[in-house]
């Protein structure tokens, strides 16, 4: 079991922003990787097809969600998949008043 900072602010340790999770659940809301160029986890540009591809990792396997001409559609499909597969453990936006 691990302590998860729900909104990724490691300096804010108020109980309402912490939860106990498994390693698998903690990986469901991982921060954006430094080598990501699209700005969205699970969305990237496929050079060969010249389209945006959306994907998600479920049970250590990559699930392909489709290829899209429109970046925003790829992001929408990815966010829908996060809700379906990750539920309450999906990546959450920071609270607007939080610095």
Q: What's the rounded mean pLDDT across residues 10-29? A: 88
Among the ranges given (55-59, 64-68, 87-91, 95-99), the one the predictor scored with the smallest mean pLDDT? 95-99
Burial of 46 (C-beta count, 10 Å sphere; 0-12/13-18/19+): exposed
Fold of 2-89: GCC-box Binding Domain (3.30.730)
Tokens, residue 28: 């469901």
Domain boundaries, the chain: 2-89
Neighbours of 74 (CB within 10 A): 25
Q: For residue 93, what pLDDT band results from cuts at 50, 70 and 90?
A: low
pLDDT of residue 23: 86
């Amino acid at each position: 079991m691990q302590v998860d900072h729900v909104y990724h602010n490691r300096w804010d340790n108020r109980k309402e922003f912490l939860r106990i999770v498994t390693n698998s659940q903690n990986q469901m809301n991982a921060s954006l990787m430094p080598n990501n160029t699209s700005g969205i986890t699970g969305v990237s540009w496929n050079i060969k097809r010249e389209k945006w591809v959306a994907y998600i990792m479920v049970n250590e396997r990559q699930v392909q969600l489709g290829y899209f001409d429109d970046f925003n559609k790829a992001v929408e499909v990815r966010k829908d998949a996060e809700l379906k597969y990750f539920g309450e453990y999906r990546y959450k936006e920071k609270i607007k008043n939080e610095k």
